[in-house]
Amino acid sequence: MADPEPKRAGRGSPPPEPRTGGSDKRRISVLLSGRGSNFEAIADAIADGRIPRAEIVAVVSDVADAAGLRRAAERGINAFPIPRASLSRREHEKQVLKILDAFRTDLVCLAGYMRLLSPEFIARYRGRILNIHPALLPRFPGLDAQRQALDARVTEAGCTVHVVDEGTDTGPVILQRRVPVLPDDTVETLSARILEQEHLAYPEAIARFLESPSGEGPCGVEADEA
């Protein structure tokens, strides 16, 4: 199978080349499957200096027509569709890793990426993959976290940015933000309230992670209140 071509930012412009030298910026690659609102929050935070000395070098999606790819291309960021339908998990991840390696990725950010990563993938970028989850982990891991919170009748929900390991939302926590659960909340209203905090939490967590002395990010940071 041919290597995927990046979506172009402008009609008739040549595909952008990987930036592999001449910059001291930390290189971030984003994996997404949908609209890409957290990706845009990260990109905006880089642009306004809240995530200093960083750049997004590639956006990869397992959904060919994901809105996040279009938004990346509109920003002039390399955007790669790698549809998963016709590929085995191993072949799909091989193509994704080829892109991440080509851009000398320092940090991988999952932003609504609806595909589990294999242990082999995680080992390749161990300690350098972040995810944001719409719950206050360790409570309500996995799918439908907002529904889980409502079914449990909790009075507080939120989001968690954590390092990815082989478990399901079990990696070390970097940062959390909290929101109240209101008596008349639905999955939709609670999700919207949490998403607002995700857009604040993810950039802040990335900045903390990249600025940590070890270069591997702080873990066990106390939760932030919304």
Q: Which residues are catalytic?
A: 133
What is the phi/psi pair of residue 218, to 5°? -75, 145
Paired with 162 in beta bridges are: 131, 173
Angle at which helix 187-211 crosses helix 37-47, to 10 degrees, equals 40
Task: Determine how many CB atoms are found less than 10 A away from the CB of residue 186.
Answer: 12
Question: Helix or strand or coil: residue 161?
Answer: strand
Angle at which helix 37-47 crosses helix 67-74, to 10 degrees, equals 20
* Contact criterion met (CB below 8 Å) for 201 and 111: no
